[in-house]
Amino acid sequence: MTKTVIIDGDWGGDEMQLAAVLLASKKVDVIGATAVFGNTTHDQVFKNAGDILHLLNANNIPFFPGAQGPGGVSLPEEGDGAHGANGVGGVNLEPTPAAPQKTDAVDFILETLRNRPAGTVTITATGPLTNIALALAKDPETMARVGDIIVMGGCTADLAGADVPVRKGNITPDAEFNFYMAAKDAAEVLHSGLPITLFPMNCTHQLTLTPEREKALRAALAANPAGADAVLGMMRAPIDLDRRKFNLSPTMHDVHTALYLLHPALYEGRKGYVDVTEEGKATGRTDFTPSKNGTVLVMEKVKDADKLFSYYLESVKKQVVVQKSASAPSLPKAPKPSSK
């Protein structure tokens, strides 16, 4: 049975990865892409959405503008620049020929859920959860028709940090970026009772772009070297941050939301309740209480990272269109430490 999916996120290199996986599968029907502020400004994210879909030979997928800041009103705080000023690591993507949609992301999400059978639409949510929180506040009955919301955000276990002894986040020692940028919105969504599958950072850190995987990707796109430069430029954008804070190769975070949808047996998790600190020094901190009665399924283990990467590799090879010229900045050197 084909899965109907809306991709909601702060479109950048991470969303490129998950979109490639979904678009390459005959088991998935991506019906729309919604933008939310995050790695960079909303307007840049919105542009990136169209250009990334164009890179992935998906100009038929409509893309919609969304929240400009937390709560849909205020401007966000400065991020950490992990994905560069343009949100895609400085890569100059070929502009999409497709016209952007004018309908707001929240209205598109709600209209889709009203017009489709209950339980048949999945939303991948890989940026701040503001669009989802606004839709929930506007029409909770309609949002209850969603089949699943697969979220990348938070951190539910202590991680060893290269710069501090223990980390629960990548934007601060206590907080993961997406939840930090809109902590109240994240808390509202996670407390909503909606069916949510959460990929926290302690799970996503189990899949990284090692030098070996980078070589495999370049080999897979050997016939499209400029396309390989663009993809690797986006994927390697956070290399300095991940090395400095975690002693890791660039982490592949958001792609898990797509890989899980297609290959759930490659993950292990537990149900429970997830709390997000909404203000103060620990804003964005995630705390997980396991419970069989919980509504949030928290993924904690990747069973086979190499197999997951191979699925991603096949998807990128299939979807990335030939680029006319080199479109990426000079790539930073590969990290020295070995990572998972």
Q: Note down the domain range covering 170.
A: 3-319
- Sequence length of the chain is 340
| In a domain? residue 157 | yes
Q: Which helix (H) or strand (E) holds 274?
A: strand 267-276
Q: What is the CATH number of the domain that holds 46?
A: 3.90.245.10
| In a domain? residue 43 | yes
State residue 84's pLDDT score. Answer: 74
| In a domain? residue 328 | no
| In a domain? residue 11 | yes
Active-site residue among 42, 83, 253, 256? 253
Best CA proximity match to 286, nearest among 162, 207, 203, 194: 203
pTM: 0.94
Best CA proximity match to 253, nearest among 308, 296, 331: 308
Q: Percent of the chain, pLDDT > 90? A: 89
pLDDT tens-digit series, residues 182-234: 999 999 999 999 999 999 999 999 999 999 999 999 999 999 999 999 999 99
pLDDT tens-digit series, residues 208-217: 999 999 999 9
Distance, CA of 46 to CA of 65 (rounded, Å): 6
| In a domain? residue 160 | yes
| In a domain? residue 335 | no
* Contact (Cβ atoms closer than 8 angstroms) between residue 40 and residue 130: no
Best CA proximity match to 311, nearest among 16, 11, 115, 25: 25
State residue 328's pLDDT score. Answer: 54
Distance, CA of 211 to CA of 209 (rounded, Å): 7
pLDDT tens-digit series, residues 1-12: 899 999 999 999
Number of compact structural domains in the chain: 1
Q: Give 7's strand partners.
A: 33, 124
| In a domain? residue 176 | yes
pLDDT tens-digit series, residues 34-87: 999 999 999 999 999 999 999 999 999 999 999 999 998 877 766 667 777 788
Q: Who has greater pLDDT, 248 or 330?
A: 248
Q: Is 253 a catalytic residue?
A: yes
Q: Which helix (H) or strand (E) holds 258?
A: helix 255-262
* Two tokens, residue 306: 């190499």
Question: pLDDT band at residue 337, thresholds of 50, 70 and 90?
Answer: very low
| In a domain? residue 336 | no
State residue 86's pLDDT score. Answer: 87
